[in-house]
Amino acid sequence: MHAFVKAGLSCATGHLRSLAFCLAAAAAPAPAAACSLSLVLAMDASSSVDHLEHDLQLNGLANALSDPEVVQAIEAVGGIWIMSFEWSGQRQHFLQFGWRYLEDAEDADEAAEELRTSHRGFIGFPTAIGYALGYAAVQMGRAPADCARKVIDVAGDGINNDGFPPSSAYKAFDFEGVTVNGLVIADQDTTTIDYYREHVISGPGAFIEVAADYEDYARAMKRKLIREIIGNGYASRN
C-alpha cells in the first residue's frame, strides 16, 4: 500500500497527536508529484566532541530517524530524500550515508542501522562551520531530485574557530531556496545558541532546536526532524 494511502488510514483511526500528520497528508500532492523534501544532515565531530559524545550523537540521530513519529511524518509527506555526514576541520568531512529515499519504516531503519555502524571519520580537528556549510551546499546540489523544500540541518556544540565564517560560505556557495536549521548542544551557556541564531541559520522558516546536553540529543533531533519533514506548522512538546 502506498505511504500516502497508509497515512490516510491512520488519520481515520489515530489519536489527536497525529492531527498534524493527517493535515499534512491531506494537503500533500498526488504521489506522482515532485518530492516534498531533500534533507542534508551535518553532525559535529570536532575536537570538542569526545568519543562518548560522538556515540550519543550518532545513536541519537539513528534513534530519532527510526522513531515511529518521525516515520509517520515521512509517510505523511510521501517520502523524503536524505543524506548524512560528519564535519570538523576545513577539509574533514566524512560521509555517513549518501543520498537515499526514505518512504517507510523499513527505509528509515536501514538508514538508522547504517548510522549506528558508522565509525568516526576524524579526531582532533577544530570547528569549521563555514566549510561544513559549503560542503553541505555542494551535497544539496547533488540531490537526485529537485524537491519542493531543501533543508540543511547543522548540529554542533560550539562556534566557528577555523577557516572562513558562515557568512563567507553563504556568499561563495549556492544556497538559493535552501533553509539551514541548527541543533545546538548548549549546556547552560547561550553563546553557541546566539551564534547559531545570528550567523548559522538561514533561509525561509529557519529555526534552532536546543539539546540541553548530549544525553538530550535524541529527543531534540526527533523534534527537529518532525518539524523539518512536516514543515513549520508542527512543533511537538514531547
Q: What is the pLDDT of residues 150-181, one digit of tens each?
A: 999 999 999 999 999 999 999 999 999 999 99
Q: Which of 96, 86, 74, 206 is nearest to 147 (CA)?
A: 74
List residues bridging with 183 in a β-sheet. 155, 209
Q: What is the pLDDT of residues 190-229, one digit of tens each?
A: 999 999 999 999 999 999 999 999 999 999 999 999 999 9
Those residues whose C-beta lies under 8 Å from the C-beta of residue 179, and which sit 6 or more positions away, are 149, 150, 151, 152, 202, 203, 204, 205, 206
Measure the CA–CA gap between 22 and 72, rounded to whole angstroms.
10
pLDDT at 187: 78
Whole-prediction pTM: 0.83
